Amino acid sequence: MDLRDSYRNATRAITGARMRSFLTMLGIIIGIAAVILLMAVGEGSKRDILAQIQGSGSGNLYLTPGAQSSILSRRGNGGARDAGAKITMDDLKEIEAKVTYPVVVSPTNTMGITIKRGNTTMAGSGVFATETYFEVNNVTVASGRLLVTSDVSNRTRNVVIGANVGSTLFPGLSPLGQLIRINGMSFKVVGVAASKGQSFIGNSDNAVILPLTVGEKSFGIPHDRITMTTIKSVNPDDSGAVANQIAGILERRHRAVDFSILDQKSLTTLFSSALSIFTTLLAAIGGLSLLVGGIGIMNIMLVSVTERTREIGIRKALGAKERDILSQFLIESSLLSGAGGVIGVVFSILVANLLIKRFLPTYITTSSIFLAVGFSIAVGIFFGVYPARKAARLRPVEALRYE
């Protein structure tokens, strides 16, 4: 039987039972859409985060205590670390003194905090920093002022709040000069940062920037341990040489490589591999619903084989071999799932662009589309094999006798 005949037979069988075919395809449509959309969200977040890393300033180096191998398992909360592995203010002073290129050093500790004003409470992140934080991270104030040297040296209870903290706690009001409570302690708002949106270290709009020195005095952050130091080279081309100099200085001081220096490129690699795992995981979750869709196809193909027992008998009487019947039903099931896959792709592109894009970053890759359609056809063949074999092996006499 030639391919065009087979194709026509299959489309006739599918369009002959429109509602049933549609419902069967719906399982595949939803499965494929789930795979593509979840992958699109994963890929979108990945691109978003990587773009933020790219945009975070190409001359920036990120210095953290501990060797690089464990970098992903540590997220800064200002708590205790492996004994010995620490970066102190003296380390940083030495770096500032000895690095021969112009640099700006910004030490930070970060912890989760509760921010409260009156009856309004919100969760945010507390960034304990010095006056250099703003320059290094390109943070400007929308109103008020930045933290200055004296805030840090005098341990003032002055803070700069993120845009979102301002609008949540002070709806329609100016927060400047007002008091807020952070983990139960009173602080005065001296500035509101301009909105920056989500960044790879968290949402800076939900952050409160406090003087570094307040951290160890009032928040229990260990004395003289800096979780994350950003070093900005004034001339971005210097950053490679700067990284080498810092490594040399710290190695001499610590007599060990108990620190890591990440530049933008290594950060990109690091996040990129971690986020790819995340995307794969999301795709696997979507794949589960595709599996359910495949079982739907098998179910309906079994019904179809039973209903068309007589047709199978007639075809066999006219000379159809087992492989003719097998391929007839396989073509039908793969056409059903392939069409479901194509509709699923179109559907997910629409949903991603019209709906999900408003809430989450999405990016549909061409490879995810080919993967999805290919996978859906594979599902049709895989789940079509059993019913098709059942049909192919029917004995002609019994099939003809079937009412």
Partner 1 sequence: MDLIQLSELRKTYAIGGVTIEALAGVSLAIDQREFVAIMGPSGSGKSTLMHILGCLDSPTSGRYLLKGKDVSSLRSDELAAVRNRDMGFVFQAYNLLPQMTALENVMLPLSYAARSVKDGRRRAEELMERVGLKERIRNRPVEMSGGEQQRVAIARALMMEPSIILADEPTGNLNSKGAREIVSIFKELHEEGKTIIYVTHDDNIGAQAERVIRIRDGLVVAEEGD
- How far is it, in rounded angstroms, from Cα 299 to Cα 140? 61
Residue 316 lies near partner 1 (rule: CB under 8 A)? yes
Residue 307 lies near partner 1 (rule: CB under 8 A)? no
* Element containing residue 183 per DSSP (H, E): none
Quick one: which segment of 10-18, 153-161, 215-223, 265-273 binds partner 1 (CB under 8 A)?
A: 10-18
For partner 1, the closer of residues 184 and 319 by Cβ is: 319
- How far is it, in rounded angstroms, from Cα 231 to Cα 243? 9
Quick one: which segment of 44-52, 146-154, 196-204, 316-324 binds partner 1 (CB under 8 A)?
A: 316-324
Which of 101, 322, 346, 363 binds partner 1 (CB under 8 A)? It is 322
Comparing C-alpha atoms, which of 199, 137, 129, 212 is closest to residue 164?
Answer: 199
For partner 1, what does the binding mask look like between residues 323 and 362, x meaning CB under 8 A?
xx--------------------------------------
Which of 10, 103, 320, 335 binds partner 1 (CB under 8 A)? It is 320
H-type alpha helices, 219-356 = 239-254, 264-307, 309-317, 322-354
With the CA atoms of 329, 330, 336 and 341 taken in that order, what torsion angle do they form, in degrees rounded to the nearest 10?
A: 170
With the CA atoms of 125, 128, 132 and 138 taken in that order, what torsion angle do they form, in degrees rounded to the nearest 10?
A: 0
Q: Classify burial at 73, counting beta carbons within 10 Å of its beta carbon; exposed 0-12, middle 13-18, buried 19 or more.
A: exposed
Which of 86, 196, 315, 390 binds partner 1 (CB under 8 A)? It is 315
Quick one: which segment of 9-17, 103-111, 120-128, 372-380 binds partner 1 (CB under 8 A)?
A: 9-17
Identity at 197, one-letter amino acid code: G
For partner 1, the closer of residues 285 and 317 by Cβ is: 317
For partner 1, the closer of residues 200 and 402 by Cβ is: 402
For partner 1, what does the binding mask look like between residues 16 and 35, x meaning CB under 8 A?
x-------------------
CA 365 from chain centre, in angstroms, equals: 15
Strands (E), 217-332: 228-233, 259-263
Quick one: which segment of 32-40, 43-51, 376-384, 390-398 binds partner 1 (CB under 8 A)?
A: 390-398
Which of 123, 172, 319, 354 binds partner 1 (CB under 8 A)? It is 319
Question: What count of Cα atoms within 13 Å lies in the side-chain half-sphere of residue 222?
Answer: 16
For partner 1, the closer of residues 26 and 400 by Cβ is: 400
Residue 73 lies near partner 1 (rule: CB under 8 A)? no
Which of 12, 20, 98, 252 binds partner 1 (CB under 8 A)? It is 12
Which of 22, 89, 400, 402 binds partner 1 (CB under 8 A)? It is 400
CA angle 32-34-36, nearest 5°? 70
Quick one: which segment of 100-108, 131-139, 239-247, 318-326 binds partner 1 (CB under 8 A)?
A: 318-326
Quick one: which segment of 92-100, 217-225, 262-270, 321-329 binds partner 1 (CB under 8 A)?
A: 321-329
Which DSSP symbol is given to 235?
A: S
Which DSSP symbol is given to 227?
A: S
For partner 1, the closer of residues 234 and 317 by Cβ is: 317
Quick one: which segment of 56-64, 138-146, 242-250, 308-316 binds partner 1 (CB under 8 A)?
A: 308-316
Comparing C-alpha atoms, which of 19, 201, 232, 70 is closest to residue 126?
Answer: 201
For partner 1, the closer of residues 75 and 310 by Cβ is: 310
The number of residues in the chain equals 403
Q: Name the minimum Å distance from CB 303 to partner 1.
A: 17
Q: Is the CB of residue 233 less than 8 Å from the CB of residue 242?
A: yes
Q: Is the CB of residue 318 less than 8 Å from the CB of residue 346?
A: no
Residue 265 lies near partner 1 (rule: CB under 8 A)? no
For partner 1, the closer of residues 86 and 315 by Cβ is: 315
Can you tell me which residue has the tokens 């971690």? 274
- Binding footprint of partner 1, residue count (CB under 8 A): 24
Torsions phi, psi for 6 (to 5 deg): -60, -45
192 vs 189, 217, 230, 316, CA distance in Å? 8, 24, 22, 81
Which residues contribute to the site for partner 1 (CB under 8 A)? 1-2, 5, 12-13, 16, 310-311, 313-324, 395-397, 400
